[in-house]
Amino acid sequence: MLDLTETNPTRVGLPMPEAEIRAALADARVLRYEPTPFGDAAARRAVSAYHGGAVPPEHVVLTASTSEAYALLFKLLGDPGDRILFPVPSYPLFDYLAGLEDLETVSYPSVWEEGDWLIDLDGLEERMDDRTRAVLVVSPNNPTGAMLRKDEADRLLALCGRRGLAVIADEVFADHVFTDAPSRVRSLAGRDEALVFVLGGLSKSCLLPQMKAAWIAASGPADLLDDALARLEVVTDTYLSVNTLVQLALPRLLALRGVIRPPLMARLAGNRARLAQALRGSAATLLPTDGGWSAVVRVPRHPGEEERVLRLLTRHGLRVHPGFFFDFPAEAFLVVSLLGPEDEFARGAAILAADADAP
């Protein structure tokens, strides 16, 4: 089997500063329990610094994962039956996360135009009603890699501010960006036109999903923000779910990004180049991206995404994801993870190219 769907960063042979990680976890203070609803002060200061001070430590909330951050925010923002707007194509977990909090999800489309994924902001506004509580954005998006553009961010925040809606900005891939285009927004951290909750975590930033540590960086108009944080404190105080060990280690783990990131970026860029090279001259096209761990390949419509994916699997032992897993608006797209080892990736890319040209 050749697996181009592997997104577990602990299984792809990337070098990690193992001794430093172990040392960060060997903290004598772990024998004491000093619960705090939003998490250890030093860890929150480190997250604030990670965001360039755009959000002060008092407005940082530690969580056990980004998924848990979503759940906490959904508890905070909605009552059963309220609605959350989420982007498509995107990461396919939002229905579950919202459903488990008895919220409904309504998708809003991004459209592929002139080589760019653009949020259909008029379509987004049309989908808002009096039960809508929040709009979710994922930047860089998983799997398209598209980042929010400055004009989109300005319009989105103004719209949400006007309507009293919160913006939840999933920026877990923000450290893994290939573009320096000034039209792209690096982060919504600290924006205050609406209530904004930026999500990030060790899972992607440090390739350490097993540590179970993430955060919410909150900002917004002072009255709304104070009220939201006071309520969120009740929610987090009820669970106190982030373990002491990882809270104590967090500043040192975050500081290791400097050594963890370069080999990852080289892997992502190298595999992208291999894919582009393999597809050149074939019937498949590699879509441009701003960042993230995935690549999107447009393939001929015939024989259909599902048939193609099954054909790749049964004829060639190659595993890729069909676009419909991520709710692409049309056929036919394939999604591959750029994380895997170079040799295996190159062999998979060659198979993809040959298959795109097969009848």
Ligand X SMILES: Cc1ncc(COP(=O)(O)O)c(C=O)c1O
Q: Is 86 in the site for ligand X (CB under 6 A)?
A: no
Binding range to ligand X, per CB under 6 A, among 50-58, 62-70, 110-118, 313-321? 62-70
Q: Is 214 in the site for ligand X (CB under 6 A)?
A: yes
Binding range to ligand X, per CB under 6 A, among 61-69, 112-120, 152-160, 299-307? 61-69
Q: Is 170 in the site for ligand X (CB under 6 A)?
A: yes
Binding range to ligand X, per CB under 6 A, among 11-19, 59-67, 303-311, 348-356? 59-67
Q: Among 279, 267, 272, 287, which Cα is nearest to 330's?
A: 287
Rounded Cα gap, residues 147 and 138, in angstroms: 8
Instruction: Choose which of 4, 62, 124, 172 interacts with ligand X (CB under 6 A).
Output: 172
DSSP collapsed to 3 states, 279-290: HCCCCCEECCCC
Q: Which two tokens stand for residue 43?
A: 């860890």
Rounded Cα gap, residues 179 and 256, in angstroms: 23
- Who's near 149: CB < 8 A, 6+ residues apart? 116, 118, 183, 184, 185
Comparison of 91 and 112: residue with beta carbon closer to ligand X: 91
Rg (CA), the chain: 21
Comparison of 119 and 284: residue with beta carbon closer to ligand X: 119
User: Least distance in Å: CB of 295 to ligand X?
Assistant: 14
Q: Is 108 in the site for ligand X (CB under 6 A)?
A: no
Q: Are 322 and 305 in contact (CB under 8 A)?
A: yes
User: Least distance in Å: CB of 246 to ligand X?
Assistant: 12
Comparison of 175 and 355: residue with beta carbon closer to ligand X: 175
Comparison of 137 and 284: residue with beta carbon closer to ligand X: 137
Q: Are 271 and 297 in contact (CB under 8 A)?
A: no
Please name the amino acid found at residue 61.
V
User: Least distance in Å: CB of 197 to ligand X?
Assistant: 13
- Who's near 84: CB < 8 A, 6+ residues apart? 74, 77, 78, 94, 98, 103, 104, 105, 106, 132, 133, 134, 135, 136
Q: Is 290 in the site for ligand X (CB under 6 A)?
A: no
User: Least distance in Å: CB of 358 to ligand X?
Assistant: 31
Q: Is 339 in the site for ligand X (CB under 6 A)?
A: no
- Who's near 350: CB < 8 A, 6+ residues apart? 278
Q: Can you give the binding site for ligand X, defined by CB under 6 A?
A: 65-67, 91, 138, 142, 170, 172, 201, 203, 209, 214
